[in-house]
Amino acid sequence: MSYEALCVVWYFLLGVLLTGYAILDGFDLGVGILHPFVPRTDHERRVFLNSIGPLWDGNEVWLVTFGGAMFAMFPEVYASVFSGFYTAFMLLLLALIFRAVSIEFRSKMQSTFWRRFWDGGFAFGSALAALLFGVAVGNVMMGLPLDANGDLIVPAGGVYDWSGGLLGQLRPFPLLVGLLSVALLAMHGSIFLYLKTEGELQERLRGWVWRTFGLYLVLFMLATMFALVNVPHAVANFGRFPWLWVVPVLNVLAIANIPRALFRGRPKYAFVSSSATIAALVALFGAALYPNLVIASNDPAHSLTIFNGASSEKTLGIGLLIVLLGMPFVLTYTAIIYWTFRGKVKVDPHGY
């Protein structure tokens, strides 16, 4: 396999890893976002936690693998992105850690204050992580100022002039994408919870599925219009490769099938459509960037692509061999875990 082909394959594999994480940990984050609003009793809050209890830590392995693959296969891109979003990524790690600790600690004591504190930590960590993921995507879409070596341009004062710090990264489009991410994962999580619950709680969740779907639909249309007007390079590849239009078409179909499946009483199909919506959005993100991984907003010639930001041919080849050997085990493990913990949630004294 040629060097160029290996670069393209790894770009696709990064997309697969990102899609797997967004779908699997997406409903975990969605459960956390809904945690302060839907459950009314301590038992219902434990139902929420136990719905993802056996799954959430395995789902986050996809994010760790994505980061490791980026570091090994596209080190220059990893360095530029992580230095540019350093504060945001530290907040993201804090949110994910605080969320994980909240899940594990929440039911260790009977104290009402103790449980409410960790309930708040679970919700806050989930919502903040979802928001930061979206803000990062929005900023990458708009581009970063890079020099000829692919490094972020830092003025004499030592502050990245493209951001002005964390608050500067909350520009209108990235913030809109961040809110879109929160709404999407809340919708994804509500459909997952609808599948895992029963009785009055399930009926209450049905209303939240519609609320989050409506919010997501509005934000999706706003983000799409904003991108078409203010981020013209986001659709440049669709002119070069007309077959890419199949991705937004499939995305629209997946979104439309969510209410259709709910009306017909088929929540499993709604969850599949929600997962397909996430996959299509990741595919749109990848299609808009290709062949770039970091777009230089100041000079397109300085952009880091999958070709000039990749490791050596030998590194890419060895990494691909590791993936071919290891991925079947990961998929098998994931399938077994989800099959084992299928069905409705049952809360016992030793659960979360």
Q: Above 90 in pLDDT, residue 80?
A: no
Q: Does residue 155 surpass a pLDDT of 70?
A: no
* pLDDT(223) > 50: yes
- The total of other beta-carbon atoms located within 10 Å of residue 196's CB is 22
Q: Which of 346 and 30 is assigned the larger pLDDT?
A: 30
- Are 341 and 195 in contact, with CB atoms under 8 Å apart? no
Q: Is the pLDDT of residue 158 over 50?
A: no
CB 277 within 8 A of CB 184: yes
Q: Over the stretch 136-153, which tens digit does the pLDDT of each residue have? A: 999 899 888 888 877 777
What phi-psi label fits residue 54: left (phi over 0), alpha (psi between -120 and 50 degrees) or beta? alpha
- Give the pLDDT of residue 154: 59
Assess whether pLDDT exceeds 50 at residue 163. no
Tens digit of each residue's pLDDT (9 = 90 or more) over 82-114: 877 888 889 999 999 999 999 999 988 989 999
Mean pLDDT score of the chain: 91
pLDDT band at 28 (very low <50, low <70, confident <90, very high): very high
pLDDT at 346 (0 to 100): 87
pTM: 0.94
